[in-house]
Amino acid sequence: MSIACICVLEYQGRNLLSCTAILFEKFAHLVEYMRDFEIETIGMKKTPRRCSDVKCGSRLKDTVLDWEDALPPVEMNPAEENCRMADVVLCLGTSLQITPACNLPLKSLRGGGKIVIVNLQQTPKDKKASLVVHAPVDKVIAGVMRHLNLWIPPYVRVDLFQINLDQYSRPSRSDKYVKWALRVGSVHRPKAPSPFVQSVEVSFSDRPDLKTAILNKQPFKLKRRKQITSAMIRTPLFGS
């Protein structure tokens, strides 16, 4: 029986392998925290957020590389070494146009290795590959796993959003109404979008005379000057 050494590369911070069964320490991965919104910084700069580990709490740095930025040596050096040793280099869902990462698969050819490219469009390295498949990566990998009689574990995404209720005034003897504002949004920062939240529906069980408020546009905010004691919030989520 022969055992092939397979190298899987990921770059550009796309987090393609976050839902696979491959151990993170076994491939060069540039992302620790996956965000579903646009990062404010670029070029390995510090972001407003911190590490969620209670023993750390350090400021996080973005992994968004500018066109002229070099890849971090901590990830680049192992990637080069793994490509040299690999019998097969799988290039999944990448245009292979950003240097120097796009040249990493070529290092396997010097040792007799082969390159397999799976991408919707053609790439500049297609002529160097032993096999090129122009198809969605998800469908190709699912077919390979079925052929190998292997099970793909379900990808469970855990995300958070917060509900804030601010009261601007207290009821008085002459005025029983209260000014308040409701906001449903990201836990990362007030203006960060929450793409997984489709809409917010707010109804008032103790005030049947009040019409249900439906918020379809982010940021989800509702301001009222009403006397209420309770409210019900419904938020349809993408993927639920």
The larger pLDDT score, comparing residue 45 to residue 24, is at 45
Element (H, E) at 185: strand 178-186
The DSSP secondary-structure symbol of 221 reads E
Nearest to 225 by CA among 170, 158, 160, 187: 170
Strand ranges across the sheet with 178-186: 161-167, 178-186, 220-226
The larger pLDDT score, comparing residue 15 to residue 104, is at 104
Q: Kindly report the CATH number that applies to the domain delimited by 6-30+71-147.
A: 3.40.50.1220
Question: What predicted TM-score, i.e. pTM, was given to this entire model?
Answer: 0.60
Q: Of 19-33, 47-61, 75-89, 207-221, which range is least confident?
A: 19-33
Q: Alpha carbon of 107 to those of 131, 142, 220: distances in Å?
A: 17, 28, 50
Task: Using the structure block, give the residue that is written with the tokens 């855990």.
Answer: 158
Q: What is the pLDDT of residue 18?
A: 42
Neighbouring residues of 20: CB distance < 8 A, sequence distance ≥ 6: none
High-pLDDT (> 70) share of the chain, %: 81
**Rounded distance between C-alpha atoms, residue 188 and residue 5, angstroms:** 40
The larger pLDDT score, comparing residue 225 to residue 118, is at 118
Tell me the pLDDT of the chain averaged across its residues: 79
**How many other C-beta atoms are found inside a 10 Å radius of the C-beta of residue 56?**
9
**Rounded distance between C-alpha atoms, residue 70 and residue 227, angstroms:** 58
High-pLDDT (> 90) share of the chain, %: 24
Average pLDDT over residues 141-146: 93
Q: What is the pLDDT of residue 116?
A: 95
Q: What is the pLDDT of residue 32?
A: 65
Q: What is the pLDDT of residue 58?
A: 83
Task: Domain ranges for the chain, please list them.
Answer: 6-30+71-147, 161-234
Average pLDDT over residues 123-134: 96
Query: For 182-195, what is each residue's pLDDT tens digit?
Result: 888 888 777 777 88
Is residue 42's pLDDT more than 90?
no
